[in-house]
Each structure stands twice: as structure tokens, then as C-alpha cells.
Amino acid sequence: MTERNADHIAIYPGSFDPLHNGHVDIIRRGARLFDRIVVGILLNIEKAPLFTVQERVEIAREVFRDYANVEVDTFDGLLVEYARRKGAGVIVRGLRAVSDFEYEMQMALMNRNLNPGVETVFMMPSEMYTYVSSRIVKEVVALGGSVTNLVPSIVDDRLREKRHARSTLRA
């Protein structure tokens, strides 16, 4: 077991391309449960992300500007190693539906195998966000649909800017 203290810091890892209200919901819940929650943005997982890592960091920092115990950071490599570096005893993951379960269970058990001192904690978002993913947000925006009620307003603005830039480029 890790030292008691380490359990008070949690890492919430993901690609957050882009951050949406399902993520925001989980981060808010985590901020209530833990002394500190670190939003860990994965570097290099997708070859062609819509938002650069720098943009994703900026967005998350802006959205959680008023949360003193939410930190936004980036990482590469093994998650349990990153947790060790941050002194975190908890990995937070969001569970939307049964479809998330199999992959999440595999990851949680592999992470436990790699470092039994780090515990994975699953949280469920408000039911109105259970169907939201970054992938579906990007798909809808690419087809001209609105995601205003599913993403923070800064993300909505930036998605519009990107769509505008792309349509101008095509014109």
C-alpha cells in the first residue's frame, strides 16, 4: 500500500481532444473528493489531433481557472510512472456505459499489476453526458452541427474558429 497521503492526489488521464462536459463533470466530482486532481493530457497518442496539446492545456486551464485544486499537465509514457512522479495514489476514470467497461477494467488491472499502490477509481457523469465523447463532438462539428450544450463555451468558440478556418481554406 502507498502512504496514506498519496491517496489524496488523483490523476485524470486522457486525450481531451477536445475537453467536453462529460470530462468537466468528472473533474468537478474529483475536485470535491480529492485534495488535488491532476488533469493529465496524453502527448502523442493521436497522429492528427484537432487541437494541439498546447491548445488543450490552455482550454482546460481556462475552464478550471477558479478551481485551486485542479492542475492541468501533460505526460508521456506509462501512466503509473507518471502517477508515481506526481505523488498520486489514485487514477480517476469516467465510465459512460457498459461499452467502456471492458477496456477500462483491462487498463485498471494492468495498472494495478504494474503498481499495486495506485488505485483506479471510476466515476459516472451526470446522465445527460453519458453519450458524449470527443470523437462524436468532432464528428458533429465537422458536419456542421451544434454542440453548444455539450462543451464548455471556450471549446465551442474554438471549434467554430477551426470550422471557419477549414471552410475558408476549402473555398
What Cα–Cα distance (Å) separates residue 114 from each residue in 41, 70, 80, 108?
20, 26, 7, 10
Q: Kindly determine how many residues on this chain lie close enough to bind ligand ATP according to the rule CB under 6 A.
A: 17
Peptide bond just before 18 cis, omega within 30 deg:
yes
In angstroms, what is the minimal distance from the CB of 72 to ligand ATP?
Answer: 13
| Chain-centroid distance, C-alpha 63 | 12
Total H helices, total E strands in the chain: 6, 5
Q: Does residue 23 carry a catalytic annotation?
A: yes
Q: Does residue 164 carry a catalytic annotation?
A: no
Q: Does residue 134 carry a catalytic annotation?
A: yes
Positions in 128-147 near ligand ATP (CB under 6 A): 129, 132-135
Q: Does residue 99 carry a catalytic annotation?
A: no
What Cα–Cα distance (Å) separates residue 12 from each residue in 40, 84, 147?
6, 14, 23
Among 47, 65, 99, 170, the active-site one is: 47
- Is 22 among the residues that bind ligand ATP (CB under 6 A)? yes
- Is 111 among the residues that bind ligand ATP (CB under 6 A)? no
Q: Which of 6, 9, 11, 14 binds ligand ATP (CB under 6 A)?
A: 14
Nearer to ligand ATP, 98 or 169 (CB): 98
Q: Which residues pair with 14 in a beta bridge?
A: 41
Binding site for ligand ATP (CB under 6 A): 14-17, 22-23, 26, 93-94, 96, 100, 125, 129, 132-135
Catalytic positions: 23, 47, 96, 134
